[in-house]
Structure 1
Amino acid sequence: MIDFRYHLVSIVAIFLALTVGIVLGTTMLQDPLLNTLQSETSDLREQSEELRAQKDIADQINAGDDQLIGAFADEMLADQLNEARVVIVETPGVDDEMRAGLTARIEQAGGTVPGRLSLTDRFLDPEQSAFVTELTDQLAEGVELPRGNAYERAGAELAQALIAADPEAEDAEPADDERPGDGDEESEREPALDPEAVLAGFAEGGLLTQQGEPAQRADIVLVLAPAEPFAAAADGQAQGQEDDTAATGNAAVLALTRAFDAEAGGAVLAGGTSAVDAGGLLAQARAEEVGFTTVDTAGSTSGDVVTVLALAITLQGRSGHYGIGEGVDNYLPDPLPQPRPNDSQESGRDSGADTDADSE
């Protein structure tokens, strides 16, 4: 008959066998396992050191490139923006050093920055779109604006307020059948948009602030992207969501830039490399295949020079996407723009042409 002691001895034997197996197993496997882990750790350490060395070399090369570009920037930018007026429109979160560097390069190229507009968070808040529409209509003063959402209409109005009027169009005499008759109120021309009143109205509404005198002073508009993507755009893209009922900050800024591009015949959207990250303003612009010029390396020595060259080609009627992000045409415009003649040079050429014609 099997009693309790038999069961107890069997259980003790089982646990003893397990203990002996564990001891033997760990003893036999310990050395090979440790050797494998040590080998892998050594390989990873070597790879890390190699990558660190490669990064140090890349940093040194980039620093040298910046020094080289800085040394020849005068020659590269000479007269590229001669007498051109560049109004800067910046989004909330723009890096101050980037803006200051671009302003200095614009002036180095012979251009001027007569003024700057800084959009506020309220302007880009989708919940304020109804207010943006109401204010835009109030400030239009009877001037017909294109159809579209709040930011497309506001962009068209701001574009008219910023872009310099065409002097040839102002000096042109109306045709006889277009001249208003005496006392004929219906034939009178629509009142022109008051640019200073428009900018003041948007400022009083808390939608923007202005520095300098941007009202109808721009030959071209440079729009600056924020240092980091707008939170709403980044969160929405991360979650795979889109809100068709309310424009994000990206959509609002792109609508404004399209309006500036249409009014001036060209605009440039520039930002740092973070602007091509997920949810970035430049990433969305290129995904939508916008027709205006973009640059994604602004804020660096070479990137600021490229941005000025991008402004120059835009003034010459060209466009492109430049930098290092996805969808670029090249790092910089190719071919490079020609120096921009000033008024005296143009008049000299005209008089020379007249002289040649008279001599013939």
Structure 2
Amino acid sequence: MINFRYHVVSIIGIFIALAVGVVLGAGPLQRSINAGMNPSSSQAASDPVLSAQAEAEAAGLKALASSTLSGSLTGTSVALVVLPGASDDDVSAIRSTLTDAGASVVGRVTLTDNWQSTSMSQYRTTLATTLASHLQSGAAKTASADGVVGYSIVQVLTSTGAETDLLRQILTDKSTPLMTIDEDPAGKATTLVAVGARAQSTTSTQASVAASSDAWIGLGLAVGSTSGVVVGDASSREAMISQIRTSGTAVTTVDSVGTTLASVDTALALSTASSGARAFGVGNGAQSVIPSSK
């Protein structure tokens, strides 16, 4: 039987190949690899020895990738969009990897349940009419209501001006906020990274709040307009990243949030930015484990 250590060493081998310039194009792998990459998986968590091995080998993976990542995002200004249920630890890990690669994380916002709740869909549809009148993006004219909300979030993070100020006020209205601003980027962001919940967090969140895939897709469309990345869960067909991939939305996605692989993939995806949909990781719909360095 292929053991846990073999899976992790296999992934490390992929990054060794990357470091010497070998172009990789692997297809989706078994979910067991994803579990092996995640120190908090049930197998690792139940065994202190395996947990220690997972943490050590994840650190080794990041170190091996650092030669490729170093300086690759210099001059890139990133704003983080934290989705409902996302782990602060996961957001911090992605942020650390981005800054290690040379990126400047200039701001952070957190989306509320109002942004994705199916019970608030009609509210967002009504609100979208007002939001659209203040949008600069021509693409927003043909977007869905949730797409208009997504483009509004992008404009608040990437530009300044009277129209943007109005969008900010609408989105953060205290009576029914769609988002809160944790760190104001003052319009300096050039690209976005949206971070979603892990599989277990998604389950617990959706138990109390029915989430709309239209909201995920709408945000994905807007993030894609900045050549940004959406990071989250693709362990099931109903998961956020799976839904975005199935919809054919033109945005780069990274699955297995909460793993070192996801953090490294996010930085590599930004450093090899291109238009269209690209899917990295080991979950449903992934095209390859990691982005090519070329």
How does the TM-score come out when normalised to structure 1?
Answer: 0.59
Map residues 1-360 of structure 1 onto 2, 5 A cutoff: 54-55=3-4, 58=7, 65-140=57-132, 145-164=140-159, 194-204=163-173, 205-227=176-198, 228-229=201-202, 248-262=211-225, 264=226, 266-271=227-232, 274-314=233-273, 317=275, 320-334=278-292, 336=293
Q: For the residues of structure 1 that align with 2:98 and 2:134, how far apart are their CA atoms?
A: 36
3-state SS, counterpart of residue 269 of structure 2:
helix
1:154 partner letter: V
Q: For the residues of structure 1 that align with 2:203 and 2:221, how far apart are their CA atoms?
A: 19
Say if 2:254 and 2:266, in contact at 8 Å, map to a contact too. Answer: yes
Percent of pairs with identical residues: 23
Shift of 1:193: 5.5
Query: Which structure has the larger Rg?
Result: 1
3-state SS, counterpart of residue 64 of structure 2:
helix
Say if 2:220 and 2:250, in contact at 8 Å, map to a contact too. Answer: no
Shift of 1:232: 9.1
Q: Which runs of 5 or more structure 2 residues have no equivalent in the other structure? A: 8-49
Say if 1:86 and 1:112, in contact at 8 Å, map to a contact too. Answer: yes
Q: For the residues of structure 1 that align with 2:204 and 2:56, how far apart are their CA atoms?
A: 35
3-state SS, counterpart of residue 104 of structure 2:
coil
How does the TM-score come out when normalised to structure 2?
Answer: 0.71
> Which residue does 1:47 correspond to in 2?
none
Q: Go from structure 1 to structure 2 and tell me whether the alpha carbon gap of 1:57 and 1:313 turns closer, same or farther (over 3 Å shift).
A: closer
Q: Go from structure 1 to structure 2 and tell me whether the alpha carbon gap of 1:68 and 1:292 turns closer, same or farther (over 3 Å shift).
A: same
Q: Go from structure 1 to structure 2 and tell me whether the alpha carbon gap of 1:148 and 1:289 turns closer, same or farther (over 3 Å shift).
A: closer
Say if 2:250 and 2:276, in contact at 8 Å, map to a contact too. Answer: no
3-state SS, counterpart of residue 276 of structure 1:
coil
Aligned length: 243
C-alpha RMSD of matched pairs (Å): 3.0
Structure number with greater CO (CA < 8 Å, separation at least 6) is 2
3-state SS, counterpart of residue 210 of structure 1:
strand
